[in-house]
C-alpha cells in the first residue's frame, strides 16, 4: 500500500519517529474486514494474551495490576472511512501502568501536546485487489514531542518491538479469519 492509503493516519499523526508496518492478504471485501477490527480482543488469542501478561508483570508485582489486560478497548477510535480505521493513545507507555492520558476523540488526539508524553496511532487500511480478495495493512506510529519523551520511549520501543510486531501479525490473522467468515 502507498502512503496515500493511510490517509487517516496521515491526518491524525503525520509526523513520527517510530513506525511499524505489517500486511496480509484477506479473502474478504474491505467492508467485512473493517467491520471486524473494532471487536478484536487480546483475550481471544493465547499468544497475544501471553505477551501482554509478560508486559504487565511489573505492574502486577507492584500491586498496580490493571482490572482488564491491555487491548484495543484502551484505544480511542480516532476516525474511520471505507478504507481505513485509526485508533490512538497518548501516554508514557514505558511506565508499568502505561501512563495513559484520556483522549476522547480524534480532535483531542490531534491537539494533544503534553510535554514528555508520546502519541501512538494504530491504523488499519484495506485495499480491494479483486477476486474477493483484499490487502490489509496495519501501521503503528509513535510521535515523541520532545527529547525527554524520545529518550524515554526509544529504549522501550526497542525492548517491545518484536513482541509488538508479533501482536500486530496475530491481529491481522484474526481479522482475516473473522472477515472471511462474514465476507
Q: How many domains does the chain have?
A: 1
* 92, 95, 182 from 116: Cα distances, Å: 8, 12, 43
Residue position matching grid coordinates 484502551: 74
Distance, in Å, from the CA atom of 149 to the CA atom of 172, rounded to the nearest integer, reads 29
pLDDT for position 70? 72
pLDDT for position 62? 81
Helix residue spans in the chain (DSSP H): 7-12, 30-36, 46-61, 106-111, 147-182
Per-residue pLDDT of the chain (183 residues; tens, 9 = 90+): 555 678 999 999 999 999 999 999 999 999 999 999 998 887 788 898 888 787 877 777 887 766 666 767 889 999 999 999 999 999 999 988 888 999 999 999 999 999 999 999 999 999 999 888 999 999 999 999 999 999 999 999 999 999 999 999 999 999 999 998 886
Distance, in Å, from the CA atom of 117 to the CA atom of 115, rounded to the nearest integer, reads 6
Q: Per the structure block, which three cell numbers stand in for 24?
A: 496480509
Q: Per the structure block, which three cell numbers stand in for 149?
A: 519523551
Domain enclosing residue 20, as ranges: 3-182
User: Is 34 exposed, middle or buried (CB count within 10 Å of its CB: 0-12, 13-18, 19+)?
Assistant: buried
What CATH number does the domain containing 35 carry? 3.30.530
pTM exceeds 0.85 for this model: yes
How far from chain centre, in Å, is Cα 57?
21
Distance, in Å, from the CA atom of 111 to the CA atom of 95, rounded to the nearest integer, reads 23
pLDDT for position 66? 64
Q: Which residues contact 65 (CB under 8 A, 6 or more apart)?
A: 56, 59
Rg of the chain over all Cα atoms, to the nearest angstrom:
16
β-strand 18-26 against 76-80: which pairing, if any?
unpaired
Amino acid at each position: 500500500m502507498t502512503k496515500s492509503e493511510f490517509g487517516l493516519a496521515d491526518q491524525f499523526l503525520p509526523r513520527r519517529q517510530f513506525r511499524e508496518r505489517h500486511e496480509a492478504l484477506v479473502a474478504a471485501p474491505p467492508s467485512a474486514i473493517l467491520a471486524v477490527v473494532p471487536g478484536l480482543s487480546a483475550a481471544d488469542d493465547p499468544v497475544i494474551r501471553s505477551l501482554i501478561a509478560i508486559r504487565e508483570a511489573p505492574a502486577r508485582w507492584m500491586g498496580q495490576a490493571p482490572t482488564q489486560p491491555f487491548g484495543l478497548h484502551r484505544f480511542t477510535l480516532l476516525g474511520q472511512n471505507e478504507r481505513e480505521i485509526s485508533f490512538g493513545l497518548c501516554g508514557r507507555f514505558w511506565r508499568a501502568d502505561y501512563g495513559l492520558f484520556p483522549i476522547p476523540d480524534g480532535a483531542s488526539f490531534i491537539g494533544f501536546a503534553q510535554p514528555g508524553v508520546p502519541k501512538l496511532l494504530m491504523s488499519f487500511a484495506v485495499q480491494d485487489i479483486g477476486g474477493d480478495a483484499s490487502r490489509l495493512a496495519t501501521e503503528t506510529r509513535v510521535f515523541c514531542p520532545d527529547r525527554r519523551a524520545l529518550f524515554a520511549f526509544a529504549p522501550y520501543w526497542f525492548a517491545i518491538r518484536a513482541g509488538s510486531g508479533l501482536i500486530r501479525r496475530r491481529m491481522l490473522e484474526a481479522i482475516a479469519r473473522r472477515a472471511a467468515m462474514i465476507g
